[in-house]
Amino acid sequence: MSDLKISGLHKYYGALHVVKGIDLDIPAGEFTVLVGQSGCGKSTLLRTIAGLEVADKGAIEIGGQRVNDLAPRDRDIAMVFQNYALYPYMTVFDNIAFGLRARKTPKSEIGPKVAAAAKMLGIDHLLERFPRQLSGGQLQRVAIGRAVVRNARLYLFDEPLSNLDAQLRDEMRGEIKRLHQELGKTMIYVTHDQIEAMTMADRIVLLREGVIEQQGAPLDLYERPATRYVAGFLGSPSMNFIPAGVVANGAAISVRLGDGTSLPVPAERAVGLGTWQGKPLMLGVRPEHIGPAGRDQRPGLAPVQAVVDLVQPTGSRSYATFQLGGVAAVAELQAHDVSRPGERLELSIDMNRTVLIDAATEKVISS
């Protein structure tokens, strides 16, 4: 059964149309990540699910029950906010216990429940402290503890890690994912960070300007994006987009770039592409699908000449920028495959992994 079902949901702030017709069905136990650029309506959608905002149109069902007219506290949800929202004059214990007390949990159950949640999050030695005596990471754990101590049907997280520094964020990502595995609860996690979405989600729901652009398992979206927007949003460095067309020579199809470079398309991926001759397209190539020519003998690798104009080492890999078909493109190479600007490289593009996009509609026509 689905734990959350949203149908035809709209939300306005005055004249500003923020949520523009969302349909979403989230099965029990799933970890769903709502991801999208800042301002696309993620928090508004989450707050509307929680009942902190009123839906203007559409239905929200939690556990099969319509909750549009229920107060937040009656919706069987627990929420973690970006700014923690802890009570400064209460100890960690009292902060975590707050929701239990508000729901009239028997006193004898509160102590053990708080202790169990605190232990799971590694904050059991901090229960007597006040929020001002805690680090950012500890505060975030308390905020999560306050949510998971309650036995709710749905757990909502609104960018809970964005106030933490990079290393702690990586660590907490893993902890929240482990927490999900241990509790097996339905969780909806909002972030603008595509890496967070890729690493944490069972399912990604990618929002764009108040509508769902695409949803699916992380690798589905990564490998089979439906639009240029999705292709460019997921992945770092971003996918390269190069103006292109297709040329058919009998059954053989190749992609032709602006500077005349011709890239043969493997036969099994060429089906149906002939009809796109003469139409403006974009070739989408991920940086990791450009590598040194000759190292690999698989079919479908198309050679290109590159003059490197920028090298960005990361340690394990180096990003090399070069001109491809008249635009700047980035290749993700092994650190020692490239050394300096001006270097000439023989590269190859893995044409088994590229996408072709209709430049007019920005929809992917072949991936």
Ligand X SMILES: Nc1ncnc2c1ncn2[C@@H]1O[C@H](COP(=O)(O)OP(=O)(O)O)[C@@H](O)[C@H]1O
Where do contacts with Mg ion occur on this chain (CB under 5 A)?
43
CB closer to Mg ion out of 18 and 244: 18
Residue 35 CB, nearest approach to ligand X (Å): 9
Interface map 41-70 toward ligand X (x if CB under 6 A): xxxx--------------------------
Long-range contacts of 89-95 (CB under 8 A, 24+ apart): 89/130, 90/130, 90/131, 91/127, 91/128, 91/129, 91/130, 92/118, 92/123, 92/126, 92/127, 92/128, 92/129, 92/130, 92/131, 92/134, 92/142, 92/145, 93/118, 93/127, 93/128, 95/131, 95/142, 95/146
In the list Mg ion, ligand X, none, the entry touching 137 (Cβ below 5 to 8 angstroms by class) is none
Q: Pick out residues in 212-241 that bind ligand X (CB under 6 A).
A: none
**Nearest residue (CB) to ligand X, 42 versus 289:** 42
Q: How far is the CB of 211 from ligand X (least distance, A)?
A: 12
Give the interface segment with ligand X, choosing from 39-47, 101-109, 162-170, 268-276 (CB under 6 A): 39-47
CB of 263 to Mg ion, least distance (A): 41
SS3 of the chain: the string is CEEEEEEEEEEEECCEEEEEEEEEEEECCCEEEEECCCCCCHHHHHHHHHCCCCCCEEEEEECCEECCCCCHHHCCEEEECCCCCCCCCCCHHHHHHHHHHHCCCCHHHHHHHHHHHHHHCCCHHHCCCCHHHCCHHHHHHHHHHHHHCCCCCEEEEECCCCCCCHHHHHHHHHHHHHHHHHHCCEEEEEECCHHHHHHHCCEEEEEECCEEEEEECHHHHHHCCCEHHHHHHCCCCCCEEEEEEEEEECCEEEEEECCCCEEECCHHHCCCHHHHCCCCEEEEECHHHEEECCCCCCCCEEEEEEEEEEEEECCCEEEEEEEECCEEEEEEEEHHHCCCCCCEEEEEEECCCCEEEECCCCEEEEC
Instruction: Find which of Mg ion, ligand X, none residue 300 binds, CB within 5 to 8 Å per kind.
Output: none
Asked if 299 is part of the footprint of ligand X (rule: CB under 6 A), the reply reads no
Check residue 39 for interaction with ligand X (CB under 6 A): yes
Nearer to Mg ion, 68 or 83 (CB): 83
The interface partner of residue 13, options being Mg ion, ligand X, none and the CB cut-off 5 to 8 Å by kind, is ligand X
16 makes contact, choosing from ligand X, Mg ion, none, with CB < 5 to 8 Å by partner type, with ligand X
Span 5-24, contacts to ligand X by CB under 6 A: 13, 16, 18
Residue whose CB is less far from ligand X, 18 or 349: 18
Query: By C-beta, is 189 or 322 nearer to ligand X?
Result: 189
Q: How many whole angstroms separate alpha carbon 181 and alpha carbon 145?
A: 16
Residue whose C-beta lies closest to Mg ion: 43
Per-residue binding letters, 311-330, with ligand X (x by CB under 6 A): --------------------
- Mention every residue, 6+ apart, whose C-beta is less than 8 A from residue 254: 246, 247, 262, 263, 264, 265
**Is residue 33 a contact residue for ligand X (CB under 6 A)?**
no
**Nearest distance from C-beta of residue 211 to Mg ion, angstroms:** 16
Residue 40's binding partner out of ligand X, Mg ion, none, with CB under 5 to 8 Å set by partner kind: ligand X
Q: Which stretch binds ligand X (CB under 6 A): 31-39, 77-85, 99-107, 227-235?
A: 31-39
- Residue 41's binding partner, choosing from ligand X, Mg ion, none, with beta-carbon cut-off 5 to 8 A by kind? ligand X
- Beta carbon of residue 4, minimum distance to ligand X (angstroms, whole number): 18
Q: Which does 44 bind (CB under 5 to 8 A by kind): Mg ion, ligand X, none?
A: ligand X
> Given the complex with ligand X, which of 81 and 98 has the nearer CB atom?
81
Nearer to ligand X, 38 or 314 (CB): 38
Residue 46 or 114 having the CB closest to Mg ion: 46
Please report, as ranges, the residues that interact with ligand X according to CB under 6 A. 13, 16, 18, 36, 38-44
